[in-house]
Structure 1
């Protein structure tokens, strides 16, 4: 192995087991999940470090919101990190380009390493308090009318139908996020990023040339070129064959077409195709159960109003954040219609 990963924990894996484990690990973003260890990235190098599973206490997601937050505005919008707690106190934070990759990695850990906790200690306390609050709310909720209960049951049938093919809802959510991010990124960002990247390539080329000819400032030009290239390639701001208006709109259109074809077999689906996601339906259920609406149509309008009220200035739980990030772009792209 050319680049053998370095251990972060006191516990290590024997090289004879480490080499094949890293080679066969499931790569998700810059990290990887093997049979023996979790492989973590440095700022520039993927899967440079590792922590054996027996040394890990917690693995969880941390999200930093930049200006614009839930609106999707700003160059970076939300920045997702994977946080690994090991050796009873140490932490390693890994930056990810796409938040969905963090979710995929945590879902894989839930299946293959269920003994590892997937929330922070603070989140664990909040979840316990929230469960107690929900139990109290359930005891104090008004009894649903027969009509309202029928609406809740119908929404549950729709949720069950969508969850038979979860990839369709995931595609709908991802395409909406991609479309929203593209529309909210100023074209000037893309062309500025391209210009700086070209300068970085030129600096890198000059740095190598200067280094070969024993130039004094060769190392500085080389480092600047590498930094510019890695930085803007990592932020996915550059216009590419896949990151352009035609490709983004086509991906979103295909996602809706696939969902429409699937829902054509379901009579009178309770929401439009563009909002066909289990999270939307579950939030509608909660609205009816809380007594805020009597019908699915009324519940959908209240869900829209709730999403509109959420912005970067509103503090929410991690659970609420994950729901909002998954579905709000779909409503923003459709102007809440």
Structure 2
């Protein structure tokens, strides 16, 4: 099953060197028709839950995509699922699917940095490679995987590191988990954290996802954004702290406000990688440490945990596990 959601891989610009002012213009069926080589790898069926730039994907769209993937994975006639997706928020969708789709079948998320029709478009080969991985027996049981530039990444650890480079997708410090060579995929290691069949989260029990805000901390930060977040009814706050998730005075006051409101406050790091270690000062306001998750992935995990009925005092164990 190919699940189309839009993004650059489904976009066209005004010319062959228009790499920025392009628009989503193709359905998943049209994408496949432009890469006929994928037809020799598998018998393909499609679904199109949304067709938008990934920066337009909201909580409702995320759930819609996940339900499409879940239905495909549950179908005994379908052996694998490939999701075409914009790279701007690909890492968030991939991580969400990694935690809620209960299957051992390969689920591959793939995108592109250059629109179709542009010089050296990367989408066609990325899509072909995604099918190579999806049809590999070695990809079973490894959770959601992301394919880009002949490499395979685990959904938990991949990040988009560049605004426009072809090699924008990286595996952070945990690296590439597999490499694609021709029609073969060679795995070097497998994801270690719980996912898919080992995850405790059940998609069918989630009707909607709560609002979880991300705050970017900096020198001289104030508390007003935290006040606004709490007042607006946010169900958790993730702060992209400095270094080891260090908090400015304003962010520290934000933690106090969240504690008063009874909502989780999660420390992550704006550095983009590394483990946020717990501090003695966390206990005062019940601050949760996000481990090695980026702020955007900490938001996904927090929203999923809250939607699944987890309480604030259970949140640290959730972050420690996933």
Does the pair score TM above 0.5? Answer: no
| Structure with more of its chain in strand, by fraction | 2
Which structure carries more relative contact order (alpha carbon 8 Å, separation 6+)? Answer: 1
**Which has the greater radius of gyration?**
1
Give the TM-score, by structure 2 length. Answer: 0.26
User: Under a length normalisation based on structure 1, what TM-score does the superposition of the two structures give?
Assistant: 0.25
Point out the structure with the larger helix share: 1
